[in-house]
């Protein structure tokens, strides 16, 4: 049953989230940490950190290039060629991370990676803010969304829907 829940959560979040991986983080956190309790905050942050070594938009670009060059088989070859190295690295790292996660060296490495991930997320927020926060109404929507996510337990989906409704009314 848990396997179906895991599949269902990821399928729905990926199906309905617009804007890429970072936009999914609050939703995934809500499901995996808050609702189901499958992960702690620390484990979720570890997962985000490990996720930084996997391809994303570039894999889609590579699949497109592969398709343009060799059709469907080229798209498959490009996609597998893009994901396989990361899959192998993450599989290897995860195996040893789980074995040595209590090690002071591993703990120190992740103590360095985690703030870097937070910094990267902040950089993405600043870059997106530069193009999204264009007037007082959009700034108010951003501040309201931040406050709801930071200081309440409101469902992230409701924040997204509410922000969309506010945008429709104000903009």
Confidence of residue 146 (pLDDT cuts 50, 70, 90): very high
Query: What is the rounded distance in angstroms from the CA atom of residue 126 to the CA atom of residue 24?
Result: 17
Residue 60 has pLDDT above 90, yes or no: no
Mean local confidence (pLDDT), 151-170: 89
Query: What is the rounded distance in angstroms from the CA atom of residue 92 to the CA atom of residue 148?
Result: 38
Local structure of residue 35 (DSSP, 8 states):
I
Mean pLDDT for all residues in the chain: 82
Query: What is the rounded distance in angstroms from the CA atom of residue 155 to the CA atom of residue 146?
Result: 13
Give pLDDT, residue 166: 93
Q: How far is CA 94 from CA 119, 142, 167, in A?
A: 23, 36, 42
């Amino acid at each position: 049953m848990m396997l179906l829940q895991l599949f269902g959560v990821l399928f729905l979040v990926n199906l309905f989230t617009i804007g890429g991986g970072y936009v999914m983080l609050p939703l995934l956190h809500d499901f995996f940490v808050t609702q189901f309790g499958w992960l702690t905050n620390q484990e979720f942050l570890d997962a985000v950190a490990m996720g930084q070594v996997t391809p994303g938009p570039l894999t889609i670009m590579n699949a497109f290039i592969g398709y343009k060059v060799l059709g469907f088989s080229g798209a498959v070859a490009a996609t597998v060629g893009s994901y396989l190295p990361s899959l192998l690295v993450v599989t290897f790292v995860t195996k040893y991370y789980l074995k040595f996660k209590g090690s002071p060296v591993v703990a120190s490495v992740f103590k360095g990676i985690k703030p870097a991930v937070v910094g990267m997320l902040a950089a993405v927020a600043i870059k997106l803010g530069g193009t999204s926060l264009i007037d007082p109404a959009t700034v108010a929507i951003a501040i309201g969304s931040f406050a709801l996510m930071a200081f309440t337990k409101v469902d992230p989906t409701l924040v997204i829907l509410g922000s969309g409704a506010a945008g429709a009314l104000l903009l």
